[in-house]
Amino acid sequence: MFQKMERKMYRKIIYPTFLLLLALLLFSNMNSRIIIAGIAIFLVGMVFMDDGFKLFSGGVLEKILEKSTNTLTKSIATGFAVTSIVQSSSLITVIVISFVGAGLMSLSSAIGVVFGANIGTTTTAWIVSAFGVKVHIAHFAMPMLIFGVVFRFNANKTYQGLGNVLVGLGFIFLGIDYMKDGFDSLKEGLDLSQYAVHGFLGAILFVGIGIVATVIIQSSSATVAIIITALATGQIGYLNGLELAIGANIGTTVTALLGSMTSNANGKRLAIAHLIFNIITGVVALVLILQLAHVVDMLAAKIGIARDDYAMKLALFHTIFNVLGVLIVAPFTKRLVRYLEGLFKEEEAEIVRAKYLDEIVVSVPEAALSALKKEVMHLYDNSTEGFAHALSLHRHKFYGRCDIPDIVATSTQKIDTNIDDIYNKKIKALYGDIIHFTTIAQQSMPDSESQTKAFKLKNTAKNIVEAFKDVKEIQKNIEKYAKSKNQYLKNEYNFIRAEIAKTLDTIFSLQNNSDDLEVVSKLELLKEEIKRLDIINNGRIDNLIRENKIDTNMATSLINDSSYAYDITKRLIRVANILWISDEMIQNMGEIA
């Protein structure tokens, strides 16, 4: 309700006001127009870089993040390294949130990556200060844009990704150049540095401006680039620049916070961890700003940064205070995880919904596929209770047993379960979530290979649901004929129950088997076994009718129900083939695939 009101207010008041102010600013001053155009071009560059890395890495980025984050130190180092390369802590944070949501990464590892990403993102400041404001950077932008566009037209996805990265870098460089030109010209008419505010009030004011600017621009890298260009052209004072950078660091958490609103508990936990880290870091940096500035002066002199090169000094300050933040907060990661786990608890709903799918996971193909697979497994797990109870069986009685036909023969008591209720509470909404998620996820999947995988998983979910509906159809007759006085009919229905139970049992036994060949061969054997349910083709029904063992009514019921059972078991084998065989080549080996 509150979120709805906020959204309405944003749409009706804040956004139009922002547009109006922006238009006024653009038309009132030529220089501000150039600066704002520079920011816009810079942001377009960031978007292209993001898209490019998603295409270009082909899942490499995700694999690195998944494999090299098993300890906190490794997580921090990995977060730092990948963010330095990709130049976008937001992209890394989104991937990490999706990984935690998909269960591919622990919360403490994810927090480590976010810490590292905060240090990694300071490399933007180094690039802008060491390179962007010192040379005519637009010269480099042009060839990048040209080659980038040429590559973008290539059919190959890798070329397209590289093209996007080049176009992105080109726009970033061009944006910086525009900002620099804008601030240079602005200085001739208006000197912003005369508005410098010193002391505590100045600190609060400039930190606030840094926060607001970053919230509006939605990129701390862009804010830092503006600060550095303004600093390099002498438009703002050094200390005020440092305060703005602190503000930008806090402001950047708003992007993650907004993104996490629709996320699951893990997404929210990570966004709050990000906020806590950046606020602590910001407060420490603000309190120790003079001491840190002194440390920066000392270090700058040692590494050869000129006394008056404030742009590079700001980059150094940016790195130092983020490293300091990691050193202060990292030792408390475990405590932070415990606190966050207590703060956001997974809700136990009466109607089961998706556990692993959310709006953040959907944007990262690798994580989306993994989350989807887990969710379909979740759907299968939810359905097994219904399958067993519809057969008047309890899973714990026949799982892992080799005498399933005997167990079936002795279990004739009807189980008081409403299969429709199970369907409505545990299957229907969850299946709906899977379909919705897959449809959206497929749009952001760069290659047909990922799209096919997503399609197969969607189809697997459909097979589970269809099988469940089929079991509902045979439940009534099973209950009726399992107690029939006609021994032949009773045996046939017990045979149907046993075959479905054997299928469920075999799948259960294969769920933790990592030997794909073993799994596929067991499923192929099962496939041979269930052919016995095809009573028309194997002639069993003819014998029963011919020898007057069952009447015609019984025969039609038996034919229908055997056919349902055959379909159920075939569908379940297909489900197991996709869910519990990870090697695609092996998946496609069997005839059932």
Partner 1 sequence: MKMKKLIKKISDFFDTLETDKKGEIEEKEGALQEKLEKKIASKRHKLRNCKDKYAKKELQKEIQVLKKLAANFENKIAAREDV
- The footprint of partner 1 (CB under 8 A) covers 156, 158-159, 517-518, 520-522, 524-525, 528, 583, 585-586, 588-591
Nearest-approach distance from CB 88 to partner 1, in angstroms: 24
Pick between residue 323 and residue 593 the one whose CB is nearest to partner 1: 593
Nearest-approach distance from CB 377 to partner 1, in angstroms: 24
Nearest-approach distance from CB 219 to partner 1, in angstroms: 30
In this structure, what token pair is assigned to residue 14? 């804040």
Nearest-approach distance from CB 166 to partner 1, in angstroms: 11
Nearest-approach distance from CB 485 to partner 1, in angstroms: 33
Pick between residue 551 and residue 583 the one whose CB is nearest to partner 1: 583
Nearest-approach distance from CB 447 to partner 1, in angstroms: 12
HSE (side-chain half, CA atoms, 13 Å) at 142: 3
3-class secondary structure for 296-349? HHHHHHHCCCCCCCHHHHHHHHHHHHHHHHHHHHHHHHHHHHHHHHHHCCCCCC
Nearest-approach distance from CB 145 to partner 1, in angstroms: 15
Pick between residue 288 and residue 589 the one whose CB is nearest to partner 1: 589
Pick between residue 13 and residue 525 the one whose CB is nearest to partner 1: 525
Nearest by Cα to 580 from 507, 496, 483: 507
- Sequence letter at residue 563: S
Pick between residue 308 and residue 528 the one whose CB is nearest to partner 1: 528
Q: Residue 264 to residues 70, 86, 360: CA-CA distances in angstroms?
A: 22, 26, 9
Pick between residue 420 and residue 583 the one whose CB is nearest to partner 1: 583
Query: H-helix or E-strand containing 476?
Result: helix 448-481
Nearest-approach distance from CB 91 to partner 1, in angstroms: 23
Q: Residue 192 to residues 33, 108, 224: CA-CA distances in angstroms?
A: 16, 43, 17
**Sign of the four-CA dihedral 234, 239, 245, 250:** negative
Nearest-approach distance from CB 28 to partner 1, in angstroms: 44
Pick between residue 191 and residue 518 the one whose CB is nearest to partner 1: 518
Pick between residue 346 and residue 403 the one whose CB is nearest to partner 1: 403
DSSP 64-103: HHHHS-SSHHHHHHHHHHHHHHH--HHHHHHHHHHHHHTT
Pick between residue 407 and residue 593 the one whose CB is nearest to partner 1: 593
CB atoms within 10 A of CB 27: 10
Question: What CA–CA distance (Å, rounded) separates 403 from 37?
Answer: 76
HSE (side-chain half, CA atoms, 13 Å) at 152: 17
In this structure, what token pair is assigned to residue 34? 């150039």
Question: What CA–CA distance (Å, rounded) separates 17 from 406?
Answer: 75
Counting every residue written for the chain, the total comes to 593
